[in-house]
Structure 1
Amino acid sequence: MRSLADDTVSGIIEKWSAAFEELDAEALASLYSKNAFFFGSNPMLYRGNEGVAAYFNALPRWSSPTVQFTDVMTALISSDVINVAGTASFLPSEGTQPLSVKLTWVIAREDGSWKIISHHVSSMTPLL
């Protein structure tokens, strides 16, 4: 049986994926908190909606980007906070190798809507 956390996260993943496939930085940024912390594929920490938009605007303009989320786990921390972990596999264009990363999100209710407040990706390759 699916939980509230699973349903909430599935909805955010659906919106996130659709916006990513269009490389729509503003739509992606709208899914994040005004106070979000964001570690993406480079070492810089981006903050808030403007920081998230700046990150996505700086990505390469891939010809047909897609993303697939797998192994998604959710934990309802409180009625207003969800912890998320999973794998995100990005395909820049058809025929290329996927770029897969481990992903964690913390999602919280902000002004009545669910928003990503913390976003962190890391390499699938072990460091040690």
Structure 2
Amino acid sequence: MSNEADEIVSAIIAKWCAGFARLDAAALSSLYSTNAFFFGSNPRLYRGRDGVAEYFNGLPRWRKPSAAFSEVQVVRAGPDLINMAATISFDLPGERPDLIVKMSWVIIREAGDWKIVNHHASSQAPLI
């Protein structure tokens, strides 16, 4: 794990959490690659920034949403490739029980900036 990769991922996580707190689909989708694959909390595969924006625009309009990342693992898989895995706790006070998911991102350097090219959320509860 390199310090540079940790810093890159930490910066993306901070922007992601800030965008999620505002349910700002434009800010969130800007963190993703033009070629992104996105599996969120429903079975559909969303593609590209427009797909990511569609997903976030389709979420309920919670009053005070927040997300906290923990158990973050980062590996630099190549000069322009970072692999990230974490647990995310979503706090939606008074609107639903807290939601905890496993998350993985593949992050690439695209046009000189780091973007999420693959986003996969899955249940923390065992499926088998």
Say whether the fold is shared (TM-score over 0.5): yes
In structure 1, runs of 5+ residues without a counterpart are: none
Q: Given the two structures, how large is their TM-score scaled by the length of structure 1?
A: 0.96
Residue in structure 2 matched with residue 64 of structure 1 by the alignment = 64
1:13-55 deviations in Å (ceiling 9; x for gaps): 0000000000000000000000000000000000000000000
TM-score between both structures, scaled by the size of structure 2? 0.96
Runs (4+) of structure 1 moved beyond 2 Å? 93-97
RMSD, matched Cα: 1.5
Is the 1:37–1:119 contact (alpha carbons within 8 Å) kept by the matching residues of 2? yes
| Alignment partners' CA distance in 2, 1:29 and 1:89 | 20
2:92 is matched by which residue type in structure 1? P
Gaps of 5+ in 2: none
Q: Any conservation in 1 of the 2:72–2:86 contact (CA below 8 Å)?
A: yes
Counterpart in 1 of 2:76? 76
What amino acid sits opposite 2:28 in the alignment? L
**CA deviation profile, 1:71-116 (whole Å, cap 9, x unmatched):** 0000001111000001011111258532000000000000000000
- Give the match's secondary structure for 1:10: helix
